Structure 1
Amino acid sequence: MGEMALVPYEEAAAGMGLQKLHKPLATFSFANSTIQIRQDWRQLGVAAVVWDAAVVLSTYLELGAVELRGCSAVELGAGTGLVGIVASLLGAHVTITDRKAALEFLKSNVQANLPPQIQPRAVVKELTWGQNLESFPPGEFDLILGADIIYLEETFADLLQTLGHLCGDHSLILLACRIRYERDNNFLAMLGREFNVSKVHYDPVKDVHIYKAQRRHKREDL
């Protein structure tokens, strides 16, 4: 087995802090592949940087916690696309989404890191939460992925609406996040009103939690 890189190789050298965010390339090893993610902090800010939550979620997927072969997945707020790229390499068909402004950058990372035979399994598509949802068939995805997408309170209602639309009765949602503020817990509470939510993983080094959510089934025996 190749070594599993849980941190970008350069991180140790650069020390913590913003240096790694400003690096033009962040290198990872996942799914027996070397993945080089171009970062563009100056142009795109937070959308164009690999955040720890994406690394922890990619690691979790690589550990085989979810069956990805042949699975239909969507990544929300993909930014650099690391999670979607890893899911594709692990056998999923992934729709990798973000807002319009981030799409060109996202596409370039996806194309640079997927071999030609895998590229058809990864589709980059525009999705602004709460908008243009009709271009996504409801409940179509087995797996909905999000890394560090819970951070702006004004987006919570749109994000919940989007999750509700994409999520079928048997879909699984995996969200990786740091719990930094009270509002992060508020979002999880909002999510918990519509979905069964449980914590499935915690990375103490990066202080990242992974939550699993599934649609609540109405009791049929009533």
Structure 2
Amino acid sequence: MMALVPYQESVVPALSKLQNSTASFHFANHDILITQDWRRLGVAAVVWDAAVVLCMYLELGQIELKEKVSIELGAGTGLVGIVAALLGAKMTITDRKPALDFLSANVQANLPTDLQKSVDVSELSWGENLDRYPSEGFDLVLGADIVYLEDTFVPLIQTLKHLCSEATVVLLACRIRYERDTNFLDLLKKWFNVDEVYYNKQRDIHVYKARKHLPRTDF
């Protein structure tokens, strides 16, 4: 999920660093250069701390990625999906339609040609047209800083339920800012076992691992 929020520097001076047109990283033994475009696409087009921390966690090797059928939700710039692909995952990298050209450009610019054939960039608005994606068809689901709009919580959970089997690992990276964030985790726990597996104190980002269980209730 992403929001098309225009950037006005005079209104949000604290975010002025986000006007940088690129952000550079080194993950999976590769230099990665991500294009950012806050003014055109808003929050979907900048790299947030949660994405960086989730990449750090993936590099630790706690989760097997090689040949795993994986999907990233609300990918934005695509950094997490790019790093997962470099670490061997077979990635589907998704976001809403307005962000796809931007997302695809970052993926193509940062993945070697031989890896690009194992990566698919596609449209996914949570809770909509889920039959386009295989039910319980993924080994790994990734999401960085996607828990921030309360109106999206129900469709996000519906999407996770569709994508995940009981064997699927879900990794969500987020900052716990408000009561709504803990409310989402409580909602998630109705259908998933949820554990915190990593915390980056410097960036104040938590990584949660979730595995599907039989629901106690339903929507």
Structure 1 letter corresponding to 2:157: L
Residues 191, 214 of structure 2: 8 Å contact kept: no
Task: State the distance in 1 between where 2:192 and 2:85 align.
Answer: 26
Task: State the distance in 1 between where 2:28 and 2:137 align.
Answer: 25
Deviations 1:86-135 (A, max 9, x none): 00000000000000011000000000000101101111010000001000
1:217 positional shift: 5.2
1:32 positional shift: 0.5
Structure 1 letter corresponding to 2:179: E
Is 1:190–2:190 an aligned residue pair? no
Which residues in structure 2 correspond to 1:1-222 (within 5 Å)? Answer: 17-216=14-213
How many residue pairs get aligned? The number is 203
Structure 2 letter corresponding to 1:52: D
Query: 2:80 is paired with a residue of what secondary structure?
Result: helix
Moved over 2 A (4+): 17-20
1:166 positional shift: 0.2
Q: Compute the RMSD of aligned alpha carbons.
A: 1.2
Q: Which residue of 1 aligns with 2:5?
A: none
Task: State the distance in 2 between where 1:94 and 1:217 align.
Answer: 27
Deviations 1:56-103 (A, max 9, x none): 000100111111001110000000000000000000000000000110
1:20 positional shift: 2.9
Task: State the distance in 1 between where 2:106 and 2:117 align.
Answer: 15
Amino-acid identity (%): 61
Query: 2:65 is paired with a residue of what secondary structure?
Result: coil
TM-score, length basis structure 1: 0.90
